[in-house]
Amino acid sequence: MLTPPAAAMPVPGHIDPVPVPRALPMRADGRVDLLGLSKADLRMALETAQLEPKQAKLRAKQLWHWIYNRGVTDFSLMTDISKTMQPWLAQRFVISRPEVVEAQVSTDGTRKWLLRSDDGQDYEAVFIPDADRGTLCVSSQVGCTLNCRFCHTGTMRLVRNLTAGEIVGQVMLARDALGEWPSQPEGRMLTNIVMMGMGEPLYNFDAVRDALHVVMDGDGLALSKRRITLSTSGVVPMMARAGDEIGVNLAVSLHAVTKDVRDEIVPLNRKYGIEELLQACADYPGANNARRITFEYVMLKDRNDSDADAHELVRLLRKYRLPAKVNLIPFNPWPGAPYECSTPERIRRFSDIVFEAGISAPTRTPRGRDIDAACGQLKTAAEKKSRAELDRLAAEKQAALG
């Protein structure tokens, strides 16, 4: 028997460098949504609609500019595209925006949007203005499967991944609301993005990666990777890929320094323990003193806030030689939450211990608490209502029982 030539053998671990065409996001009306497509997929969408490859290349370039530089959603406003071509495009394509169910503004200027997808799923985005920057907190999933005990999002029953278009859509919508078209490099309000809304971004890796590539593209929204931060609760196997394929700043939701406590508050710790997580941080590409990894630490009264916890945190960060900064997050309460926030004195003491070891440890000021926009408070109105309904039903049952 002849042995097959080596070239025909599958190479273990080989990654095919040829991009595999993905199904285009077709809507119920048969039109394809261009928002969130990569440059290559945008071109492919035009070729699939029977444009000549050369034409498709040119039109894709023009469309990219109109979509991401000018914020235009109406083909008839694209002045360098011919009057006959405009309706042809409109028949086949749309440039979507998420439907806004509710827009709220906090007394501190924080804005929150409740958004609804075509299939009726709700998710949220939050904009936090500061003196020197404006940060958009973007969701990657509807709900979250990870059930961290202190996080309201983790109690949502419905979970689905957002598409790249829905993730990019949050940025486009914020730009619309802030009146920031055309895109310009200087003086804009939306300067930073944090993947810290609903969901675990590394459980929706492909869509988050594709969306962030669109957001970082220099011909469009052009946000630098240094102004984007991805926060993970510690999905260790995806961290190296996040560094290689996305390359943005990393934030890690550490929250505890002992196995017992972290197992309780971040259940994913039972799968990927603290030491494994810190090793993955040490290996994260591009982490150095100029680009430190942020360790998020939610301050829970009498759970994770002792002096001993602070000293252990310092020991662990040193052991792995991590270029680190620690972000202390006062726990934001929500109805029925099983924890309380540490006292301000306790938080200060904890911060001082870490700071005295040479690691910066600021406390994050809670923003938008009055509109439930602060960290961990995101849970959509639809879900809240169903909880309220459940409570009402429970009360009725109780009353019936006498």
Residues carrying an active site annotation: 124, 375
Of 29-37, 149-157, 313-321, 363-371: span binding ligand SF4 (CB under 6 A)? 149-157
The residue within the footprint of ligand SF4, chosen from 67, 151, 173, 239 (CB under 6 A), is: 151
> 350 is in the binding site of which of ligand SAH, ligand SF4, none (Cβ under 5 to 8 A by kind)?
none
Per DSSP, 13 falls in state T
Is residue 154 a contact residue for ligand SF4 (CB under 6 A)? yes
Of 55-63, 110-118, 144-152, 187-195: span binding ligand SF4 (CB under 6 A)? 144-152
The residue within the footprint of ligand SF4, chosen from 106, 117, 192, 233 (CB under 6 A), is: 233
Number of residues that bind ligand SF4 (CB under 6 A): 11
* Cα–Cα distance measured from residue 52 to residue 177, given in angstroms and rounded to the nearest whole number: 37
Site string for ligand SF4, 245-284 (x = CB under 6 A): --------x-------------------------------
Under 8 Å between Cβ of 347 and 305: yes
Which structure tokens are listed for 254? 């550490």
Residues that bind ligand SAH (CB under 6 A): 148, 150-151, 196, 200, 231-233, 253, 296, 298, 329, 331-332, 375-376
Closest residue to ligand SAH: CB criterion: 376
Is residue 144 a contact residue for ligand SF4 (CB under 6 A)? yes
Distance, first Cα to last Cα, the chain: 83
Which structure tokens are listed for 362? 């600021």
Under rule CB under 6 A, which residues in 163-202 are in contact with ligand SF4? 199-200
Instruction: Pick the closer one to ligand SAH by CB: 78 or 361.
Output: 361
Is residue 148 a contact residue for ligand SF4 (CB under 6 A)? yes
Helix/strand/coil percent split, the chain, to 5: 40, 15, 45
Burial of 105 (0-12, 13-18, 19+ CB in 10 A): middle
Neighbours of 292 (CB within 10 A): 17
Question: In which element (H, E) is residue 113 found?
Answer: strand 111-116
Neighbours of 344 (CB within 10 A): 11
Residue 320's Cα: distance from chain center in Å?
26
Q: How far is the CB of 10 from ligand SAH (least distance, A)?
A: 35
Per DSSP, 370 falls in state G
Q: Collapse the DSSP code of 77 into the 3-class scheme (helix H, G, I; strand E, B; otherwise coil) and give the result.
A: helix
> 196 is in the binding site of which of ligand SAH, ligand SF4, none (Cβ under 5 to 8 A by kind)?
ligand SAH
Under 8 Å between Cβ of 263 and 270: yes
Q: How far is the CB of 397 from ligand SAH (least distance, A)?
A: 30
List beta partners, residue 128. Answer: 135
Q: How far is the CB of 240 from ligand SAH (least distance, A)?
A: 17
Q: How far is the CB of 233 from ligand SF4 (least distance, A)?
A: 4
Of 35-43, 143-151, 334-342, 379-387: span binding ligand SF4 (CB under 6 A)? 143-151
Q: How far is CA 126 from CA 66, 104, 113, 231, 323, in A?
A: 25, 9, 6, 15, 28
Q: Could you list the residues that contact ligand SF4 (CB under 6 A)?
A: 144, 146-148, 151, 153-154, 199-200, 233, 253
